[in-house]
Structure 1
C-alpha cells in the first residue's frame, strides 16, 4: 500500500462509514466519501466528500475513478420493512460501483448469520443457520456479493464482528446500557455472566485498512472474523464502575446499580413500534455465549488492531459527550428496566 492508494467509502456519514473514513485517511489513503445530498461533510485531511445517492453508479465511479477498494458502509433503518425493501438494493449499489471500478468490495458483517444454535466459538467456516429474518437477509446479501465476484470483474471481502460500539451513537451501549450511567446505574439486556462478542468500531475499521493493503493476496471472495472483545455484563459493570468513580458519578467505594432490560415491555412496544419488534428478535444473542475466532485475520495481518477495553470504553463515552458538563441526555433513566441489584 502506498500513499496514492484510493478508497471509495459508501455511507461515509454512518457509524461504521465514519470510522472507516478516519481509519483510511490516517493510514495515508486518498478517501472519496459518499454521503447523501444535503448531509454535512466533515473536515478531514485527505478526504473528498461526494454528495450522491448510493445508486448513482456513473457519478460515483467517475468521481472515484482511481479507487481500488470500495467500503460498503450503507445500511437500512433497523426495521424488517426497511431491510426487506432496501437491503438488496443497497448491496447491489455497492456491487455496481465496485464492478465499474474493477475494485475490491469490503463490507462489515454481523453474527446474525449463525442463529440461535450457534456454538460458543464462531469460526469463519462455522455453519450458518440463521433463525431470524435479519440473519436470513444477511446471508442473502453476502451471497449476492459472492455471486458478483464469479466473473472476475471484482473481488470482495466480508469482515464479521460482534455488536458494534464506539464512533458515535446508535448502539446497545448508548441506547440502553448507559442511559443512566451518570446516576450510577447500568442497564444490561441479558444475564450478567454470559460472554458475548463486541467490536470497537475504530479497531474494526483499522482491520479493514490492514486487509485492504493485502487484498492482492486474497481469492475472489473471502471472509474474515474480527475477534474484538468477548465480554460479560459483569465485565461492562466493572469497567464502567471505574469510570463512574473517576468522574464522580459514584461516591468513593460505591457500586453501580444494575438493572435488566424488560423484554416483556419491549415485546409489548413491538406491537406498535417496528424497531422494538426487530430488536426483540435478537434477544437470543444475549443468552447464548459466543466469541469470534479470527484465525484467517491473524494469518493474513499478524494481529488484528486491538485497543485495551478500558481505553476503548473511555473513548466511546467521551465521543458520546458523557464527559461534558453540559451533557443531559444520559441523565434520563431507562424506561424499559427492572432492578436486579
Structure 2
C-alpha cells in the first residue's frame, strides 16, 4: 500500500469484519470496501478472492481477542459475521458472543450483528415486526434469544450494538438454495421445500451487505441497543420456481423435498439432523416488516428475485449439454 493510500485510509471510517471468509463476511468486506471504508478482514485462513487496496487481512481465531485487539485497538464498526455450524452452537455460540462483545467494547465500536427469524419459534406468525414476541420453543430459538439478550445486557456496560434481522440468504454456498432447491437444476428439476404458495423471507447478500454499510454510516443516530428488520425479498416456492424457469429459458419440473428420506439419512449425520429441525420455516408463511430501517434510511430498494437467483443458473450455449456432478467426482454430460 503506497503513502497516498495509507493517508486515505487514515481519514476513512474503519470496520472490522469478524468471520470475513463466510457468506455474509465476504459480502460485507466487499460492500464496505466499495464504499471507501478501511476494512480489516478477520478469518482463520489467509487470503481473499478479490483483494482491494483498502482491505487488510488478519489471520487468527475470533476467540483470540488479545491478538485481535493488539492489531485493531480502535475501529468505528465491528461486523459479527461468525457463524459456527449448527452442531457446534452449544459449545461455540456463547464463547463467540462473549469474544465479539469484548472486541467491540474494547475498540469502542458499534457492533453490528445479523439476526434471523429463529427467535420467533416454530409457530412464527406471517408478519414479523420488530416488536413481535420471541418464543423459545425450539433449541435454535432459545440459543439465538439468549445470544441477543447477552448483547442487550452488554450495552448496559458500555457496548453499542445493533441487530439487523434478515431472512434466508441468497448467495454463496452452503445455503438451502444451492444445497437443496437448485441442486438438481442441471437435470431440469427445482426442489420445493414445502407448500409452494407460502411466502418466505429471503435476503440477497449483496443487498444486505450494502444495508449494513448504510446503517453503519448512520451509526451516530442509533441508540445504544437497536433491533431492525430488513424486509429483503419475500417469495414463495412457486415464485422462486418461475424465476428459475425464466433464467434457465426452459420449463423446469417440481420435486418435493424428500424430508422422510432426509430423516433416515440424518440418523448418521448430526449436521443433517440439525438442518431437518428447521423444516418448520418452509411450512409457515412469513415475511419481515422493516419500519425502523425505512425510517432511518428512507426507501429501501432491493434486487429483483431473478437478479438474486441469477448465479444459480447455468444456461447452456448452443449445442452444449448441461453438466452434472457424478458420484465418482467426475463431470459428465446429461
TM-score, normalised by the number of residues in structure 1: 0.88
Displacement of 1:303 in angstroms is: 2.4
Structure-2 residue corresponding to 1:226: 230
SS at match of 1:150: helix
Counterparts of 1:135-284 in structure 2, within 5 Å, are 135-152=141-158, 154-166=159-171, 168-245=172-249, 250=250, 255-284=251-280
> Which residue is equivalent to 1:122?
128
Distance 2:163 2:21 in 1: 20
How far is the alpha carbon of 1:62 from its aligned partner? 2.7
The Cα offsets for residues 188-220 of structure 1, whole Å up to 9 and x where unpaired, read as 111111111011111111111111111111111
Distance between the aligned counterparts of 2:116 and 2:322, measured in 1? 32
Contact 1:297 1:303 in 2 (8 A): no
Aligned residue among 65, 78, 82 for 1:74: 82
Query: Hey, what does 1:26 align to over in structure 2?
Result: 34
CA distance in 1, matches of 2:326, 2:175: 17
TM-score scaled by structure 2?
0.89
Contact 1:207 1:305 in 2 (8 A): no
Alignment of 1:108 onto 2:114: yes
Q: Secondary structure at the match of 2:157?
A: coil
CA–CA distance in structure 2, aligned partners of residues 110 and 269 of structure 1: 27
Rounded Cα–Cα distance in structure 2 between residues aligned with 1:22 and 1:117: 36
Structure 2 CA distance for aligned equivalents of residues 330 and 150 of structure 1: 53
Distance across 1 between alignment mates of 2:149 and 2:300: 25
The answer (yes or no) to whether the contact 1:72–1:108 under 8 Å persists in 2 is: yes
Which residues of structure 2 form unaligned runs of 5+? Answer: 1-8, 328-334
Contact 1:112 1:134 in 2 (8 A): yes
Query: Secondary structure of the residue that 2:227 maps to in structure 1?
Result: strand
Query: Relative to 1, partners in 2 of residues 1:298 and 1:148: Cα closer, same or farther, differing over 3 Å?
Result: same
Deviation (angstroms), 1:15: 0.5
Range 226-235 or range 51-60, more displaced:
51-60
- Spell out, residue by residue over 1:248-299, the C-alpha distance to the aligned partner (whole angstroms, 9 max, x if none): xx3xxxx210001111111112222111111111111101011000000000
Deviation at residue 39 of structure 1 after TM alignment: 3.3
CA RMSD of aligned residues (A): 2.0
1:317 corresponds in structure 2 to 312
Q: Distance in 2 between matches of 1:218 and 1:327?
A: 53
* Contact 1:197/1:227 (8 A) holds in 2: yes
1:323: Cα distance to partner? 5.6
**C-alpha distance in 1 between matches for 2:64 and 2:147:** 20
